[in-house]
Every structure is written in structure tokens, then in C-alpha cells.
Amino acid sequence: MRILHVASEAYPFSRTGGLADVMVALPAELTRLGHQATVLSPWYADLVGTPREIWRGGDVRLGELTEDGVRFLFLETPVFKRPGIYHPDDVRRFSAWGQLVLPVLAASGVRFDVLHGHDWAAGLVVAHARLRHIPSVFTIHNLQYQGRWNIHDSFAWTGLPQWLNTEQGVEFYGDLNLMKAGLVYAGHVTTVSPTYAQEITTPEFGEGLQGVLQDRLAEGRLSGVINGLDQERWNPRTDGHVLPYRSMTGKAANVAALRQEFKLDDAPILSCVSRLAVQKGLDILLAALPEIVKTWNVVLLGSGDVQLEAAFAGWARRSPRVRHATGMNEALSHRLYAGAHAFAMPSRFEPCGLSQMIALRYGTPPVARRTGGLADTVPEEIGFLFDDPTPEAFLEALGRAAALVTKPRTWNARAKLGLPLDFSWEGPAKRYLEIYGEVMAE
């Protein structure tokens, strides 16, 4: 089977978050299973790597690179000839880019059996695929980001026929909505965990699109497929960024090293690696800090909301038990998973999440809200789950953890259950192959 993935970013060439990681791991697993997986993303001005040009038409060109046996294609258009990935005018940029994807691939001789679009930036490509009777799957990685713009200004950017400019089509409360385009016109819609697939059909999590998603669910065309984890990159036994370990005894050396690195006292260490955002519950963590630091050291790696950044920076200046590092720091993130006792994920919603999977494999029980992918992947016998997105509920779960972390034998027996957990991509990839087969058979 020949599968074309379309997404706005793909590791290691462009990355702001987990979508980019999926775009290397899932295609690589599909390739390992004997299929031909290709990934298409924009050719950004500051793309990591230099693609080999394979097609050009005026000021539009297509290039390619290969990584882990996967073919990566990069489509360059004038709107992407500036630094950075995302900008305020992204609806215009990705509309102009999206309507060129299928004509350019056809002109360059790229052939595929099924198109798999990822998140709002690929929604328009899915709509154009429907017009060409190309089988397609569309995956929601985060429903909150939808690609919306006043439809009177933006519909002409899409290249779509006027009859799709309706409530049943791409119109959404007076806006063009590129996420909705993917939801409506894909042969099958997936999202990245079974629990999130149910949550997004409700007003609380549906971001206004719950009616569309309820329709897709009723049609049998909405599924939750949990994301996998790159288990070679995130393997404490072979991780070059930490002191490799196979047991909780080996982990203790990493705890000692992290304590020394950040000059922490003997209190247990709670770490967090996250984008600083309300969605991630970092405001909950912030509100709970006065109580948390009575029992825990807290080491946070993350950037994002400027107010949250400033607040955590202030705490780091004032408190000997709070440390905060900003930016993307791959090596430090590994040390925080390996060197902490517990890992904080107080998310308001979490479509899937990979941090909890990494933490489990590194023997670092998550303290997490029971939502989305966290509910699906954090075993009750290892992690500490809570229901309400409040500081009080988070502190109650931390209290349960604190009652055990001072009993090393009990704590280690619990934490080590995560070390052998299998979060590989093999199972999810096989499920996607089933879905591809279904949409191709229609």
C-alpha cells in the first residue's frame, strides 16, 4: 500500500511539537511493515536539511529527502519563503499551499493509494482529495487549533468550488474552517486516543465542532487510535543523555545527578516537560506551588505563555525548591524524565500525550488528570490520577504520591512496573492499515 501523509511539520526537518514526532515514527513503522509511506510538508525557509529538487514549476518546487527509509517531500510556494513555521496569516498560507498539493504531486509523478491528512493545515488537501475521489483519512491531533478566517475574505484562497461554501461544507459560523474541511470530507476521521475520540463529541471538549463529530461517530467514521512512542529514542537502557539504567537502582544514580545539577535538597523531585499553556494545566501547577514546595522540589522545562513563563521564573528566583529552564532542550528533557521521582501532567485536556509514556518507561510515575490519552495510558497501579482540573484535585493526587515516595521499597516496586511497558507504534500502525483498507474499498 502507498500512503501519503500530509502535515505542517515533520521531525527532524521542522518541529514545534508532537505532530512532527508522529510524522517520522508512524511512517517509519508502516515502512517496516512492508508498505510505502511518504510524508509531504511545506518547504520552509529555515527547514533543517537541504532537499533535492525533483520538480519545479515557476516559483513552486518540490524536493525530497530520506529518513529511516521514509521518503519526505517538501513543497515550496512563495508564502513559505520566510523564517519560522507558523504565522498570523497561516489560513491564507496553508490555503494557497493546500490547493497546490495534489496538482504538483500529479505533475511530478508521485503516486499514492490513500491520503492521510494531519490536523487543520492538511484539511484543505483532504477536501480537494474528495473532489478527485482519492481515498482519505484525517487525524485530529488537537481540535483546539482549527485554521479559521472570515469566509468572505478567505474562501477564494482555497480553490474549492463555491458549492462547498455552506454549513454542510467548510463554512463555520461565518468563517472558513480548515479543520472542519478535513472532518467533513475525509473517508474516516481519527484522533489520537480512544478517550479523546469520545470527549470531542461533547460540548466541553468539542470546540464547537461536536455536532460534526457526533455525525461522523454515528456513521462509524470516527475512531481513536492511541499514538505510539519512539521507543529507541526514549529508552533508559540505551539513552545517551542520561546514566543508562535497567532497574530502579540505576535510576537512583540519575536522581542523584539531577539533584546535584540543580542544587536541590533531599526532598523528592517532581519534574515537568511541557509547553507552558492553560491547556496543559500549567496554571493549575502554578496555583498549587505554594503547597507543592512544602514537600517536593519542582524542576520545569518549558516555554510558551509569557505570563506563565514570568510567574515560574519568579518562583525559581525566590524558592530554593523551584527550578525553571526555557526553550527546547532535548538533553535536559531526558534528564528530567530519568532523574525525577514523579512527573506532573495536570492537563485540562490531552488528546494523547507522549510525556506520560516516556515518564512511565523511565520509572517516573505520572501525576496526571484522567482525561484523553492520559486516561488511556497511565495505569492506576503506577500513576496517580485525578478528575477535576483544579489545584485542589492535583494536590490531593500529589499527596497520595508523597505518602509513598518516602517509602523507597514501596515506591520503587510501583515505579518499576512502567519500565517494561510497550508503547511501540506497531499496534497503532496496524490499526491505521485497517482503516486505510476500509476507505480504499469504498
Burial degree of 396 (CB within 10 A; 0-12, 13-18, 19+): middle
Question: Strands across the sheet with 175-177, in order?
Answer: 148-150, 175-177, 171-172
- Helix (H) / strand (E) element for 6: namely strand 2-6
Residues 6+ apart with CB under 8 A from 67: 12, 13, 24
15 is in an annotated binding site: yes
For residue 134 the three cell numbers come to: 482519492
Strand partners of residue 177: 148
**How do 269-273 and 148-150 pair as beta strands?**
unpaired
Distance of CA 422 to the CA centre of its chain: 19
Buried b (16+ CB within 10 A) or exposed e, 89-120: ebbbbbbbbbbbbbebbeebebebbbbbbbbb
Q: Are the C-beta atoms of residues 345 and 371 closer than 8 Å to each other?
A: no
For residue 200 the three cell numbers come to: 470531542
For residue 20 the three cell numbers come to: 512532527
Q: Are the C-beta atoms of residues 24 and 68 closer than 8 Å to each other?
A: yes
State the Cα–Cα distance between residues 223 and 236, nearest whole angstrom.
32
Q: Which of 302, 351, 349, 357 has the alpha carbon at shortest distance from 327?
A: 302
For residue 386 the three cell numbers come to: 485525578
Q: Which of 278, 295, 275 has the alpha carbon at shortest distance from 287?
A: 278
Neighbours of 210 (CB within 10 A): 18
Q: Which of 98, 79, 270 has the alpha carbon at shortest distance from 181?
A: 98
Phi, psi of 149 (to 5 degrees): -155, 150
Q: Output DSSP code: residue 349.
A: -
Q: Which of 360, 285, 350 has the alpha carbon at shortest distance from 17?
A: 350
- Helix (H) / strand (E) element for 401: namely helix 391-405
Q: What is the largest CA-CA distance in the chain?
A: 68
- Mark the binding-site residues for ADP-alpha-D-glucose, compressed into ranges: 15
